[in-house]
């Protein structure tokens, strides 16, 4: 407000200055016209020189130093980091809504438990954050399945609050439960495909470890046999020397 008052004062001063210069012509019309030109010029200067309004924050939490390093190490540019964070922030809110709905509606909770839905959502979310460069591979989950699941569960809750339910209403609710279950299964399959490489790497490590264990055990067993034979030979030699 104080800045606006100062701006208005400057415009007024310029207008008066223009009026004074125009008065030197001895004609009132020219003086008024000059005052208007000077005032407008000052007003235009104030407008062009005004500081730009700051962009309002999007609501995404501030980026920590550790996560910034993680994204940069993963090969993301600044613009890609922003897109990734906006996308995952929307996904996090949708997952929170889904969790809330499962706790609020017993039927939805049962469906979620039967399909291990909530743990899979959290695991998939974490897997994407761990490998942000693979975001396009999870597009179907983030932009299709997850929003549809949230929408479907929200409408399911709305219908369950209807005071009077007909046979058709219960039929629709049954269909919705089946659709939610199918979506949950699809998400689980997508998650398993996303982490398939990690599972294969672990399986390879396990196979290699299991292969090395018998060899190590055999080596130790052979060493123990050799030590035993050496002890017997030494013992026999001692007895013969006493004889």
Phi, psi torsion values for 60, nearest 5 degrees: -70, 135
Q: How far apart are CA 228 and CA 189, in angstroms?
A: 56
Tokens of residue 177, six digits: 């439960």
* Average pLDDT of the residues in 81-106: 96
pLDDT per position as a tens digit, 130-142: 999 999 999 999 9
Q: How far apart are CA 133 and CA 228, in angstroms?
A: 59
Residue ranges in 50-166 assigned as alpha helix (H): 65-73, 78-104, 106-114, 117-130, 139-140, 146-160
Task: Assess contact for 152 and 177: CB atoms under 8 A.
Answer: no
The predicted pLDDT at position 7 comes to: 60
Task: Assess contact for 23 and 15: CB atoms under 8 A.
Answer: no
pLDDT per position as a tens digit, 54-79: 444 456 788 999 999 999 999 999 99
Q: How far apart are CA 99 and CA 117, in angstroms?
A: 9
Residue 59 DSSP symbol = S
Q: What is the pTM of this model?
A: 0.61
The predicted pLDDT at position 203 comes to: 59
Classified as helix, coil or strand, 165 is coil
């Amino acid at each position: 407000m104080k800045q606006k008052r100062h701006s208005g004062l400057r415009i007024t001063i310029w207008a008066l200055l223009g009026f004074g210069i125009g008065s030197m012509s001895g004609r009132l019309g020219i003086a008024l016209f000059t005052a208007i030109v000077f005032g407008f010029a000052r007003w235009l200067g104030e407008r062009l020189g005004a500081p730009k309004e700051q962009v309002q924050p999007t609501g995404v939490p501030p980026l920590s130093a550790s996560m910034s390093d993680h994204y940069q190490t993963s090969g993301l540019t600044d613009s890609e980091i922003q897109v990734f964070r906006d996308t995952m922030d929307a996904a996090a809110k949708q997952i929170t809504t889904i969790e809330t709905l499962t706790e609020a509606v017993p039927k939805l909770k049962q469906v979620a438990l039967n399909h291990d839905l909530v743990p899979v959502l959290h695991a998939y979310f974490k897997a994407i954050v761990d490998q942000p460069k693979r975001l396009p591979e999870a597009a179907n989950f983030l932009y299709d399945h997850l929003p549809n699941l949230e929408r479907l569960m929200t409408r399911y809750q709305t219908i369950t609050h209807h005071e009077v339910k007909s046979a058709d209403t219960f039929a629709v609710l049954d269909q919705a439960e089946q659709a939610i279950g199918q979506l949950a299964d699809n998400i689980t399959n997508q998650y398993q495909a996303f982490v398939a490489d990690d599972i294969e790497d672990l399986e390879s490590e396990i196979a290699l470890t299991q292969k090395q264990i018998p060899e190590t055990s055999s080596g130790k067993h052979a060493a123990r046999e050799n030590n035993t034979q050496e002890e017997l030979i030494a013992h026999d030699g001692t007895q013969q020397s006493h004889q």
